[in-house]
A and B are shown apart, each in its own frame.
Chain A
Amino acid sequence: MVFQCSKCKRKWQQPIGICPYCLIELDRIKSEKMETVVSSKVSISSLPHMKVPYFANIIKDEQGNLFAYKSTEKIDKIELKSNPESVAIFRIKYDIIEGLENIFKLLEVSLNENLKVLVIPTLISTNYTYFKENTSPELLESVLNFLLEKKISVKVGAQSFNEIPIEGLAQKSGLLDVCLKKGITPFDLSKAVFVKKEDLEISEEVLSADLVINLSMLKAEKVASTDNIFYVLKKENYSGLKYLQSEKEISEKLLKTLSNVITIGEADTVQRSNSTTTYLGLIFGGRNFLNVDAIFNKVIMARKLPEIIKDINVDSIAISGRSIMEVERDIEM
């Protein structure tokens, strides 16, 4: 993705918004085909790229724009193959919209005007956005822009499982402002009707939506995507099942029951295991939230895996977009 001024034709890789020469808004220029121009086999290990050898390539699109691209083997061109059952990984280079476009494409999610979409952001803490506890206002705004541009009917819902009212969480996180700016009044999932599906009590809003977008804020050694999907359940139902069964069983049942969920895992800046934050520059996506959590923890080389995903064989999970080795980084270092 490059940004170009329609008047002076200058181009930028960073989304600066306004051309400093012509003072007009820049256009987003998408690339269709990418071919390798030159390639270097790298044999020295570094903190961001511990596994060697790898290839660092300069690739060129059909408009002559050049980009950097890491690969695990020598490549002539870039081919991103979609797979609806995969965990999709894409590198965000400042531009979240590009990441979202590619994640939906890789997962073969068709978005049309008649679709009813429910977005469930992560909303668990009153901490400021830079703590990376909740979905970031930037991601929520990008998701809403992305959907509203396609004239899709969008609802945003969340609920609180602790003593802090959801309204308070929404306000402090900056997510309420984003929704209101986009003309959406978010609603409290706990106040909606819940429908019994075997021993699960799931929000009717979730069941009636054509597509539920589970927006997780991924965190090291945690199952943030899975944790966020629990909020589709009635609070008492979740607490009871957690006591009688386990979160693992609940998550597996939810996975079987909900076929309309897509998880978008936010990982531009993420929490390490000690809650400090670090830049990662990625976005994940997938229909299986457990797999998204497992692959994220694999990518960040997590030392301690949460019980829920401990037994998942990550090698059996299909990956689309960027490969694990291309993006793998030990974020504790």
Chain B
Amino acid sequence: MHIKGVGMTNFDYSQKYWWQLAYEAAIEALKDAKMNISDIDAVVLTSMSSAAGGEHQTHKTSLLSGLFKVNIPIIETPAVCGGGGVAFWTALHLQGFNNILVLAGERLVDNKSEVVTDEILSAAERVIEQPEGMLFPVQNALIWQMYSKKYGGSMEDLSLIAFKNHQNAALNPHAYFYNRPIDLEKVKNSPEVASPLRLMDCSLSVNGGAAVILSKDETDIEVIGSGFATDYIVTFEREDMTHFNATKMAAKMAYEQAGISPKDINVAEIHDAFTSVELISYEDLGFAEEGKGGELIRSGKINLKGEMPINPSGGLKAKGHPISATGLAQIYEIVKQLRGECGERQVPNAKLGLTHNIGGAGGSVTVHIFKKK
């Protein structure tokens, strides 16, 4: 399958309805594909929608039918933060459709932080983990501690990851931190949230929408690899808490399908919900050996001017993380990079790009590989 069009909104605190954000992204994708809605024969949607809750809609697919004035199959694939990737994977595996619109819209940040956090917490284990204080930052802090115990992780390395992603976001007009670079000291001195993770190690919850049109028609961007794996919702039930096994499995599938190895990738968008997740993912995706993720960030190879830039968009950390829309926004960035349309943050001569999207704390992971023809 090929990518025919992509679209995304700015990532910010817009109070447009979730469906308006999804719709805006869809219209941009249709224009990009030089199509209209009558050319689409199926839609795959993903969205959590609203923490305020009043207009929360469970039958979102029917709402979309009304917006697009179509009666085609519309399915929803909820996989929380990994929703975009899972929706895309689902669309790739749907049989008998020529053009599939994959879209997401999220207006989850519409209430006090505690309420929004509580809504996001429904993406993790509610009875065994959360009552014992394991919220997302805590879960990832504990995973990082387990990693550090085994490999000797350094907070300096995590600071470099946050700094890199903020530098990149400052060049991305869609990013929340566009034109607002931050210095390394600010990262290092940010307040501790769940030891040892600091505020600046956490991604930024925002609102936004993103859309991708998958097509059987040949275009300049081909999807050459796709992998999807799940893992246990209770983090500490997993065999190894220091890595995300689902990432390793999804990556293996995608690389094998594409017939390439990690070193062939020119640019990647990694799910940096926390800086520690980005570092561990370097290893899970095969960009660094086990325990050597820190060396990779210190080498400068993954900076914007490096050999293989990671998160040129600014990532979830600084572009922002509108939950379900994240996975599709990653694809948007890679498609734009492969097309050479990224302006100041353009990775030169990128031919192969990778996206890596995680739902929960490693519970649903997709990896996709894209090739510029």
Q: Enumerate chain A interface residues (CB-CB to B < 8 A).
A: 11-14, 37-50, 54-56, 58, 66-70, 91, 93-94, 279, 281, 327, 333
Contact = CB atoms under 8 A, between A and B. Distances in A.
A67 B192 contact: no
Contacts of A14: 128
Nearest to B127: A93
Contact of B118 (A43, A48, A281): A48
B127 A40 contact: no
A49 B135 contact: yes
A47 B127 contact: no
A45 B132 CA distance: 14
Nearest to B147: A38
A40 B237 CA distance: 18
Given A66-B236, A68-B129, A40 B138 contact: yes
Given A68-B128, A68-B129, A281-B131, A40 B118 contact: no
A19 to B, nearest CB: 15
A49 B149 CA distance: 27
A46 to B, nearest CB: 5
A66 B236 CA distance: 6
B70 interface: no
Contacts of B130: 48
Contact of B128 (A49, A93, A333): A93
B6 interface: no
Given A66-B237, A94-B127, 13 more contacts: A38-B149, A40-B141, A42-B137, A43-B194, A47-B117, A49-B133, A49-B135, A58-B142, A58-B236, A58-B241, A66-B236, A66-B241, A68-B236
Interface in B133-169: 133-135, 137-138, 141-142, 145-146, 149
Contacts of A94: 127-128
Interface residues of B, number: 33
A43 B192 contact: yes
Contact of B114 (A47, A66, A91, A327): A47
Contacts of B141: 40, 56
Contacts of A56: 132-134, 138, 141-142, 194
B192 A45 contact: no
Contacts of A37: 146
A329 B191 CA distance: 25
Contacts of B241: 58, 66
A290 B110 CA distance: 41
Contacts of A45: 114
B232 to A, nearest CB: 9
B234 interface: yes
A15 to B, nearest CB: 11
Nearest to B112: A47
B196 to A, nearest CB: 8
B31 interface: no
A281 B126 CA distance: 10
Contacts of A49: 133, 135
A113 B130 CA distance: 39
Contacts of B132: 56, 67-70, 91
Contacts of A91: 131-132
A325 B114 CA distance: 18
B136 to A, nearest CB: 10
Interface string B301-340: 0000000000000000000000000000000000000000
Contacts of A67: 128, 132, 236
A328 B357 CA distance: 35
A41 B192 contact: yes
Contacts of A55: 133
7 contacts: A11-B237, A40-B196, A41-B192, A46-B114, A68-B129, A94-B128, A281-B131
Interface of B: 114-115, 117-118, 121, 126-135, 137-138, 141-142, 145-146, 149, 191-197, 234, 236-237, 241
> Which interface residue of A39, A46, A70, A281 has the most chain B CB atoms within 10 A?
A46
Nearest to B234: A13
Contacts of B146: 37-38, 58
A91 B126 CA distance: 13
Contacts of B197: 40
B131 A48 contact: yes
Contact of A44 (B137, B142, B145): B137
Contact of B138 (A42, A50, A66, A279): A42
Contacts of B133: 42, 49, 54-56, 68, 70
Contact of A13 (B128, B145, B195): B128
Nearest to A282: B131
A303 to B, nearest CB: 17
A48 B241 CA distance: 24
A91 B138 CA distance: 19
Nearest to A67: B236
A55 B17 CA distance: 37
A114 B156 CA distance: 65
CB-CB nearest 5 A-B residue pairs: A68-B132, A66-B236, A56-B133, A70-B133, A38-B145
Contact of A41 (B118, B126, B194): B194
Contact of B145 (A40, A68, A281): A40
Contacts of A70: 131-133
A94 B191 CA distance: 36
B277 to A, nearest CB: 15
A37 B130 CA distance: 18
A130 to B, nearest CB: 17
A40 B115 contact: no
Contacts of A40: 138, 141-142, 145, 194-197
B193 A43 contact: yes
Contacts of A39: 145
A44 B193 contact: yes
Contacts of B142: 38, 40, 56, 58
Contacts of B149: 38
A39 B145 CA distance: 8
Contacts of A46: 114, 117-118, 121, 135
A12 B129 CA distance: 14
A204 B301 CA distance: 82
A43 B191 contact: yes
